[in-house]
């Protein structure tokens, strides 16, 4: 067999000397991200069954009731968290590999040429990540407020269709409250481990001992860095938790399952 | 007790070559570089292979083993199944000189063009500076780089798309980060990184981090922070406004 070094290059999709199952990770990523995309689009599109009792789906929070918008209000909301995830440094790795095959795995051939990376439209827009991060931080506070509201139960109870009876409210916790709480904790862990936040909060400082508030910024940077080390884990966990929270509330609203009031 | 192992090595030059098969008696604890040396000693005295420390610290014996960029001296034969053929090829991002040896001089040329470290004025009258360990730890991580260039090799921008003219590659971004994040340094390298360095070509696939034998978190700790600094200077109108207000 005679060949040139150039022939050894991975010139076509999937060409490689690797013998391990390199295709599993991108295939799983494509499956999970694709499934989430389909579910989120459907859940946003249908525009119903997004609240039950004191619970509100994260896809529809904050609750927007407007006449000028012809589509589901979820589309007005989801543009921000989805923009945050779409421009996220971790997800970029995941979907460049899984969907753009650019590269599909390390040391494996790619299908296309004329690579421009993130230097030209549309991928140059990835540089807007920090602006989506600002919005994502606001959403953490909104969703935290939703958790507080999910502990305010009507004294006279909740009807089977999820309507809350008029009257005073009392403190209470249902399974749905805990589901919403776990969701917001995971979302916060993901959001506050963001690379852009890490940069803005202290990463841009070279000399902490010279900068104003340098020590505080260093500690803040260290805290964000601690979360950032698990950014991938929180990215996936929060993706699942958002979807599962919506599924739980949707199933309650549809009457498929009954929420258990813990106390 | 030794066992017979099959290795396929690239033999040839930049223009032409072939994958040639050899049988080697592999003993316990043997690494791929040992096997290659055994072939060189007993079967192919003209085999070209670059090596030095055999301890994973000099970065000389970089190659691709079964398609993965690795140091030959840090890859155990026992990592592979006894009946598995081990294929060793030169790094593909660089021109082959002969057999497993590549010409990595491009990296040093790129390195020369990175604006050099320049400290601020001395802090003390005796011409010395003051800094703290906690603020120098960031660039110290990058100082672990042994210049094996495996990260350059695995980077698809260089390896597949051959953007050597436009993109400096992860190893050189790490080198730039050493200076850029140094608490004493006063040089602004963002324009260099943005234009000559072509940092925008990196699409964060983290292959460089995966192959680094020194476990440097190249993407998260060097490249992304540098990308964010480039965003500060070029893509953030709020930051520009803030700079204007605060002078």
Give the pLDDT means over successive 10-residue stretches in chain A (263 positions).
58 85 97 97 95 96 89 93 97 97 93 89 97 98 98 90 88 97 98 98 96 95 98 98 98 95 90
Q: Considering only alpha carbons, which residue of chain B is nearest residue A109?
A: B160
Q: Do A119 and B198 touch (CB under 8 A)?
A: yes
The pLDDT, as a whole number, for residue A157 is 84
Q: Cα–Cα distance between B169 and B104 in angstroms, integer?
A: 13
Continuous H helices in A64-209: 74-86, 89-98, 129-149, 175-191, 195-198
The pLDDT, as a whole number, for residue A11 is 67
Using CB atoms and an 8 Å cut-off, which of residues 164-203 of chain A contact chain B?
195-196, 198-200, 203
Q: Do B132 and A209 touch (CB under 8 A)?
A: yes
Task: Spell out the long-range contacts of B126-129 with Cβ–Cβ below 8 A and sequence spacing 24 or more.
Answer: B129/B184
Check whether B36 has a pLDDT greater than 50.
yes
Q: Do B69 and A203 touch (CB under 8 A)?
A: no
Q: Cα–Cα distance between A150 and A207 in angstroms, integer?
A: 45
Q: Do B134 and A203 touch (CB under 8 A)?
A: no
- Enter the pTM of the model: 0.95
Pick from A103, A203, A204: CB nearest B160: A103
Pick from A5, A19, A228: CB nearest B66: A19
The pLDDT, as a whole number, for residue A14 is 82
Using CB atoms and an 8 Å cut-off, which of residues 236-255 of chain A contact chain B?
none
The region that residue A212 occupies, defined by phi over 0 for left and psi between -120 and 50 for alpha, beta otherwise, is beta
Complex-level ipTM: 0.93
Pick from B92, B130, B203: CB nearest A118: B203
pLDDT tens digits for B83-115? Answer: 999 999 999 999 999 999 999 999 999 999 999
Contacts of B205 in chain A (CB under 8 A): 93, 96-97, 102-103, 106
- Distance from the Cα of residue A64 to its chain's centroid: 20
pLDDT tens digits for A78-103? Answer: 999 999 999 999 999 999 999 999 99
Q: Do A115 and B160 touch (CB under 8 A)?
A: yes
Q: Cα–Cα distance between A162 and B123 in angstroms, integer?
A: 68
Q: Considering only alpha carbons, which residue of chain B is nearest residue A230?
A: B220
Check whether B189 has a pLDDT greater than 50.
yes
Check whether B152 has a pLDDT greater than 80.
yes
The pLDDT, as a whole number, for residue B1 is 63
pLDDT tens digits for A231-240? Answer: 999 999 999 9
């Amino acid at each position: 067999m005679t060949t040139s070094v150039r022939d050894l290059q991975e010139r076509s999709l999937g060409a490689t000397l690797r013998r391990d199952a390199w295709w599993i990770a991108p295939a799983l990523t494509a499956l999970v991200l694709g499934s989430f995309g389909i579910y989120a689009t459907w859940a946003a599109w249908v525009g119903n069954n997004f609240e039950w009792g004191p619970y509100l789906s994260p896809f529809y929070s904050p609750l927007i009731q407007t006449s000028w918008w012809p589509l589901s209000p979820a589309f007005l909301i989801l543009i921000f968290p989805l923009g945050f995830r779409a421009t996220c440094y971790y997800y970029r790795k995941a979907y460049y590999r899984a969907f753009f095959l650019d590269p599909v795995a390390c040391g494996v051939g790619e299908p296309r040429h004329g690579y421009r990376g993130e230097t030209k439209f549309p991928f140059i827009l990835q540089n807007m990540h920090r602006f989506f991060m600002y919005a994502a931080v606001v959403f953490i506070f909104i969703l935290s407020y939703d958790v507080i509201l999910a502990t305010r139960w009507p004294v006279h109870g909740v009807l089977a269709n999820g309507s809350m009876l008029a009257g005073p409210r009392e403190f209470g916790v249902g399974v749905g409250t805990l589901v919403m709480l776990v969701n917001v904790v995971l979302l916060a862990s993901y959001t506050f481990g963001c690379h852009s936040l890490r940069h803005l909060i202290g990463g841009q400082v070279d000399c902490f001992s010279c900068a104003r508030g340098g020590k505080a910024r260093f500690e803040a940077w260290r805290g964000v860095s601690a979360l950032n080390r698990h950014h991938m884990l929180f990215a996936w966990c929060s993706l699942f938790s958002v979807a599962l929270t919506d599924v739980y509330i949707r199933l309650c609203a549809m009457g498929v399952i009954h929420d258990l009031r813990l106390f | 007790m030794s066992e017979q192992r099959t290795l396929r090595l690239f033999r040839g030059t930049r223009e032409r070559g072939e994958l040639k098969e050899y049988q080697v008696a592999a003993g316990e604890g043997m690494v791929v570089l040992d096997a290659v040396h055994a072939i060189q000693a007993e079967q192919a005295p003209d085999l070209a292979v670059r090596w030095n420390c055999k301890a994973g610290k000099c970065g000389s014996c970089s190659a691709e083993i079964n398609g993965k960029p690795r140091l030959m001296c840090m890859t155990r034969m026992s990592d592979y199944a006894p009946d598995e053929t081990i294929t060793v090829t030169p790094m593909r991002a660089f021109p082959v000189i002969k057999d497993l040896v590549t010409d990595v001089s491009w990296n040093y040329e790129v390195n020369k063009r990175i604006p050099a470290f320049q400290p601020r004025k001395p802090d003390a009258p005796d011409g010395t500076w003051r800094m703290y360990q906690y603020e120098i730890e960031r660039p110290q991580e990058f100082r672990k780089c042994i210049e094996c260039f495996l990260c350059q090799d695995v980077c698809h921008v260089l390896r597949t798309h051959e953007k050597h003219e436009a993109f400096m590659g992860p190893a050189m971004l790490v080198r730039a980060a050493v200076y850029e994040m140094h608490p004493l340094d006063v040089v602004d390298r963002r324009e260099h990184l943005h234009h000559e360095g072509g940092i925008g070509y990196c699409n964060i696939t983290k292959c460089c981090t995966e192959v680094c034998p020194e476990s440097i978190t190249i993407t998260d700790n060097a490249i992304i922070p540098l990308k964010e600094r480039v965003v500060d200077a070029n893509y953030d109108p709020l930051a520009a406004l803030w700079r204007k207000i605060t002078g």
